[in-house]
Amino acid sequence: MKNFYTLLIVTITLFATPLFAQDSVNCFLEDFEPKDAVTPPYEDVEKPSAPPTVTITTDVSDTLGKVSKYIFGNALAVWIGSVNVTNNPLISHLKKMSPTLIRYPGGSWSDIFFWNGNPGDLPDSLFDGTNGQKYQFTPQYGTGSWPTTVSNYYSLRDSVNTQGLITINYAYARYGLSPEPVKQAAHLAADWVRYDNGRTKFWEIGNENAGPWEAGWQIDPNTNQDGQPDTITGALYGQHFKIFADSMRAAAAEIGTTIYIGGQIIHYDGTTSWNIADRQWNVGFFNEAGDSPDFYVIHNYYGSAGSVANLLNSAISETNLNINFIRQDIINKQAAVRPIALTEWNIRWDLVTDNLHRTSFINGMQAVILSCELIKLNCGMSARWLIANWESDGMFYRGNDGSIPTWNPRPDVFYMYYLQKFFGDHSVATTSDNSNVLAYSSTFNSGETGVVVVNKGTDKQIVRVRMPDHTVGDRIYVYSLTGGTDNGDFSQIVNVNDESPLDPYWGPIDDLLNIPAKSHLIDGDIKFISPSRSVQFILIENGDNPLPVEKESRIIKHFKLNQNYPNPFNPKTIITYSLPQESIVTLKVYDIIGSEVASLIDNDRKTSGKHEISFDAANLPSGVYFYKLQAGNPESSSGQVFTETKKMLVIK
């Protein structure tokens, strides 16, 4: 057997994502609650008789992580104006959507926004960092009549019964004219915390302050009184972040509440960026802020070209690139491990003539893909931009065209409504055998399975769902969302289970709660139709009915090491793996510097099939650990050993 380990080793290393967003200090999972499925009203339809063209495999036993409810957040901008919370269609629509948080005051205005009025030490002009020229400063206030005021924001949240994310004016610490502008700005933020009185759990310091377009990126050193440089750096922001966070937490302690505060990082390698602030932003912030942030904040708008394929595929590729870069950057720079919040995002705005893509059903499809990828990557929060806006974008219409009802919901409202309704509390591993058909699965506390299918292609598909070693109930329930025939690729309407909106509406909003699911008996296999460029939201009943599986599909064809569960854990976790053949197996655990800390399986012969083993870390300190599986057949002519490594986190 000794010679077995001198053979050529083929190594596959997969870095698991859950440790960054699934630990016990994660502020977004602190109030995690199990979620029960609700069976929708339904109408019986005929099960497709044609053979499947796409097969989706859902492994309910392979849990990727808990689903943070704060993935389903939105943002409200001050400039939308006063929102009447009485007899207002917007409030009725938002109650249906049930956003789990609302961000405020929104975007770049956050850095010129003063929640309780003029503090008295503001300059007459600010620098535009994109051209180095000054412009007249017009501060915005959280009082008055026309904007969405602070009190209006709280009233709206109370009406919808949702949590909040407040973006503090950090830039005031840069351009304020007082002798100590940082302390003055931090004090103003702390006063808002006191006024808030425990109503808001999440806060972030500033908005996109590394960007030259943002107030405070460049300041006038001649008017600044505490010696700040003219251009911001990540290190400076990190120093100031700690002052803000300390002041705000002290204020929260005074009123007997706990708040969580996020700091901004960049989600790409900025070392060669055209923007000088990007080049050392993360390393500077990490070094100066230390473990002070409760979460890390990023923003992005997705897509680099105006084609449907690019807009949809970017939701996968860019999201994974962004999150994986950050996690590797945290490791490389030895920064504090914190969950990631995407507190502003949407489809890229400048890619299609007339911006029709921003208000089309394609935006809804992208939102579903991106949200599911965030869940799959175990991110903690997202706040989608924007609840309402004018003609160009926004989930609800607030424009000037009198022929369009005010607060008319755009197609993305319907996609996000069904996504939140049919996504469970734990995400599970899911694969598709067709690159044009994406699939994401979840489980509910009540036993049901939710499946989201996105058909990016231009062909109708017959989709079958395999669930190996899992039993189901009698029925599936399906909601299928498609676009219309207007405006070419970028239809401005959405159909729900073939129910179309009546003009001038863009979706069947009035009947939304009463639209029945399409349902049929499972009767041996799960199968449904996925039209071209569509999304299906599926609920599979829980029960004791086994799903017949072809003989060959029962055979394990590949080596596989699953993510341990739970992760993080204290002190025990379960590690599972699959072997396609009888193999010699070694499974060991290593610490962060590569020292072996436990040998769970040592050169033992194991039969083909699925295996699991318990790991007890009672004698180990908190920290990151790696578990490594080596398996192979010493009598194989290939002379190859399968090797896979994953991460896990012990929290005590």
> Rounded CA gap, 178 and 205, in Å?
20
635 pLDDT band, cuts 50/70/90, is low
Closest CA to 160 of 396, 389, 370, 341: 396
Q: What is the pLDDT of residue 557?
A: 75
- List where CATH 2.60.40.1180 sits in the chain: 42-66+425-551
Q: What phi and psi, each to the nearest 5 degrees, are found at residue 143?
A: -125, 170
Higher pLDDT, 410 or 355: 410
649 pLDDT band, cuts 50/70/90, is confident
Determine the average pLDDT of the residues in 15-26: 50
| Contact call for residues 436 and 456 (beta carbons, < 8 A) | yes
Half-sphere exposure of 69 (CA within 13 A, CB side): 16
Q: What phi and psi, each to the nearest 5 degrees, are found at residue 571?
A: -105, 0
Q: What does the pLDDT look like over 481-519, one tens digit per residue? A: 999 999 999 999 999 999 999 999 999 999 999 999 999
Q: What does the pLDDT look like over 127-180, one tens digit per residue? A: 999 999 999 999 999 998 889 999 999 999 999 999 999 999 999 999 999 999
DSSP state of 198: T
Q: What does the pLDDT look like over 570-584, one tens digit per residue? A: 898 989 999 988 899
Please give the span between the terminal C-alpha atoms of the chain, in angstroms, as a whole number.
Answer: 39
550 pLDDT band, cuts 50/70/90, is low
Please tell me the least confidently modeled range out of 285-299, 362-376, 394-408, 630-644: 630-644
| Contact call for residues 91 and 85 (beta carbons, < 8 A) | yes
Q: What does the pLDDT look like over 225-271, one tens digit per residue? A: 999 999 999 999 999 999 999 999 999 999 999 999 999 999 999 99
3 pLDDT band, cuts 50/70/90, is very low
> What tokens appear for 267 in the block?
């989600």
Distances 259 to 30, 170, 414, 463 between C-alpha atoms, Å: 12, 17, 32, 45
pLDDT for residue 548 is more than 80? no
- List where CATH 2.60.40.2550 sits in the chain: 2-16+563-650
Between β-strands 381-384 and 73-75, what pairing exists: parallel, antiparallel or unpaired? parallel
Q: What is the pLDDT of residue 633?
A: 73
Closest CA to 267 of 202, 210, 229: 210
Q: What does the pLDDT look like over 594-605, one tens digit per residue? A: 899 999 999 999
| Contact call for residues 422 and 431 (beta carbons, < 8 A) | no
Burial 109-119 (b: 16+ CB within 10 A, else e): bbbbbbbeeeb
Reading phi first (left if > 0) and then psi (alpha if -120 to 50, else beta), residue 498 is in left
Determine the average pLDDT of the residues in 93-106: 96
Counting residues of the chain whose pLDDT is more than 70, the rounded percentage is 94
Place of tokens 């302050």: 209
Residue 504, preceding peptide bond in cis (omega within 30° of 0): yes
- List where CATH 3.20.20.80 sits in the chain: 69-406
Q: What phi and psi, each to the nearest 5 degrees, are found at residue 96?
A: -70, -45
Q: What is the pLDDT of residue 575?
A: 93
CATH superfamily of 42-66+425-551: Golgi alpha-mannosidase II (2.60.40.1180)
Name the 3-class secondary structure at 129.
coil
Q: One-letter amino acid identity for 493?
A: I
Please tell me the least confidently modeled range out of 3-7, 452-456, 501-505: 3-7
Q: Which of 275-289, 351-365, 631-645 has the highest mean pLDDT?
A: 275-289
Place of tokens 């498609």: 482
Q: Give me the torsion for CA of 615, 621, 626, 627, rounded to 10°.
A: -20
Q: What does the pLDDT look like over 315-327, one tens digit per residue? A: 999 999 999 999 9
> Rounded CA gap, 534 and 17, in Å?
29
Of 3.40.1280.10, 3.40.190.10, 3.30.465.10, 3.20.20.80, which CATH number belongs to 69-406? 3.20.20.80
pLDDT for residue 277 is more than 50? yes
| SS3 track for 281-348 | HHHHHHHHHCCCCCEEEEEEEECCCCCHHHHHHHHHHHHHHHHHHHHHHHHHCCCCCCCEEEEEEEEC
> Rounded CA gap, 122 and 126, in Å?
10
Burial 216-252 (b: 16+ CB within 10 A, else e): bbbbeeeebeeebeebbbbbbbbbbbbbbbebbbebb
DSSP state of 143: -
Q: What does the pLDDT look like over 390-442, one tens digit per residue? A: 888 999 999 999 999 999 999 999 999 999 999 999 999 999 999 999 999 99
| Contact call for residues 589 and 614 (beta carbons, < 8 A) | no
Average pLDDT, the chain: 92
Q: What is the pLDDT of residue 650?
A: 86
Domain at 2-16+563-650: CATH code: 2.60.40.2550
Question: Hey, which residues does 536 pair with through a beta bridge?
Answer: 453, 480
Q: What is the pLDDT of residue 593?
A: 85
Burial (CB count within 10 angstroms: exposed 0-12, middle 13-18, buried 19+), residue 41: exposed
Q: What is the pLDDT of residue 309?
A: 97
Place of tokens 């004219």: 177
565 pLDDT band, cuts 50/70/90, is confident
> What tokens appear for 10 in the block?
């083929």
